[in-house]
Amino acid sequence: MSNTHEDAFVVEGKLALPYQYFAGTVGSRFLTALRDECKILGQRCEKCGKVFIPPRATCERCFSDLSGAWVELGTSGMVANFTVIHYEEPHHPRKAPFVIALIKLDGADTPLAHVVAGVDPSSVAVGMLVKAVFAENRIGSIMDINHFEPA
């Protein structure tokens, strides 16, 4: 087949569809607390003895209901891991280079993926202490934390 390339060509097209996603009661509780009170909520699974973030209705390991197991986490924490993003994609929250880090917030056992900014990416390090910088215009999104910056 590959000897008949002369008839082949390429057509520009698109895959585009409208979507509406629902955060659900549990996710919405987290997002509205972030938006309205600048509070970061975690959830404690008593059975597993862990405090989780991002929010979830159920502990995936023991299936305990976590929908009401809210605890307030600190708004600062420590960089547990990070990568400096140097490539450009339309889905990026800001222009490269920028830092996506896993940030272990005070009071949480699982780190949260978020953006670290306000610092030269090359000086970000594991163990760096950071604090949340909230967006001025908050809309009920995880990006209501605009980014984390060195504490």
Which 103-142 residues touch other proteins, going by CB under 8 A? 104, 110-115, 121, 126, 140-142
Which of 25, 71, 106, 118 is the binder for other proteins (CB under 8 A)? 25
Q: Which of 81, 74, 93 is nearest to 147 (CA)?
A: 93
Which of 20, 49, 127, 137 is the binder for other proteins (CB under 8 A)? 20
Residue 23 sits in the site that holds other proteins (CB under 8 A): yes
Query: Considering beta carbons, is residue 102 or 131 the nearer one to other proteins?
Result: 102
Rounded Cα distance between 125 and 122, Å, is 8
Q: Which of 27, 32, 76, 75 is nearest to 55 (CA)?
A: 27
Rounded Cα distance between 85 and 88, Å, is 8
Which of 38, 51, 58, 133 is the binder for other proteins (CB under 8 A)? 58
Residue 78 sits in the site that holds other proteins (CB under 8 A): no
* Phi, psi (deg, nearest 5) at residue 59: -75, 125
